[in-house]
Chains A and B, each alone.
Chain A
Amino acid sequence: MKNRTFAAHLYRLFRSPSLYICIVSYVLLLIVPMLRPNYLNNIVMSGLYRAQVSDFYFVLSAVIPALAYAVTYVDDYDTRMLYPWAVRSGARQYAVSYYLTALMGGFLVGFLGNAIYIGIHLLLGMELDAEIGWNHTAMYYQYDVIYDEGHIALYVFIILMEYALGAAAMAGISAMCSSLFHQRFATLAIPVFYFFMTDVYSKLAGVFSWPRLHKLLIPMYLAQDSFYLKNPSLNVLYKLLTVALHVIVCGYITVRHIERSVDNA
Chain B
Amino acid sequence: MRDLRAALFCAGTNFRKWHKNPTILLLAALWATYLLHVVIDVPLLCIENGYYVTPWVLPFVFSWSPATLVYGCALTILFAQAPFCDVSSPFVMVRTGKRAWFWGQILYILGAAFIFVLFTCGCVYLYFAPCMAWDPDWGGVLRGLSEDGSLMKGSVFSVSALILRTYTPLQATIYAFLLLWLSATLIGMLMLFCNVVIRNGIGTIIISTLACWSFFARSAYFWLGSWVCRTMLLQWNSLYAMSPIITRGVEPSEAIIVQLVLIVVCIVTSTAVFCRRDTLFVKNQF
Contact = CB atoms under 8 A, between A and B. Distances in A.
Contacts of B285: 184
Interface string B120-155: 000000000000000000000000000000000000
Interface string B38-65: 0011001001100000000000000011
Scoring B48, B66, B69, B215 by chain A CB atoms within 10 A of each residue's CB, the highest score goes to: B66
Interface string A197-235: 101100110110000000000000000000000000000
Given A186-B26, A189-B30, A56 B77 contact: no
A55 B64 CA distance: 7
A193 B25 CA distance: 13
Interface in B9-38: 22-23, 26-27, 29-30, 33-34, 36-37
A200 B286 contact: no
B36 A200 contact: yes
B185 to A, nearest CB: 22
A36 B219 contact: yes
A36 B23 CA distance: 35
B156 interface: yes
B23 A183 contact: yes
Given A35-B222, A185-B27, A55 B33 contact: no
Contacts of A203: 40-41, 44
B37 A56 contact: no
B69 A196 contact: no
Given A185-B26, A185-B77, A196 B34 contact: yes
Given A35-B223, A37-B222, A199-B37, A192 B30 contact: yes
Interface in A6-37: 28, 32-33, 35-37
Contact of B65 (A55, A186, A199): A55
Contact of A36 (B26, B41, B66, B222): B222
A59 B216 CA distance: 14
B224 to A, nearest CB: 9
Interface string A36-73: 11000000000000000001100100000000000000
Size bracket of the B interface: 20 to 34
Nearest to B37: A196
Contacts of B223: 35
B170 interface: no
Contact of B66 (A55, A183, A193): A55
Interface of B: 22-23, 26-27, 29-30, 33-34, 36-37, 40-41, 44, 47-48, 64-66, 69, 77, 156, 215-216, 219-220, 222-223, 285-286
16 contacts: A32-B216, A33-B219, A36-B219, A55-B64, A56-B65, A181-B22, A185-B26, A186-B22, A186-B26, A189-B26, A189-B30, A192-B30, A196-B33, A196-B36, A206-B44, A207-B48
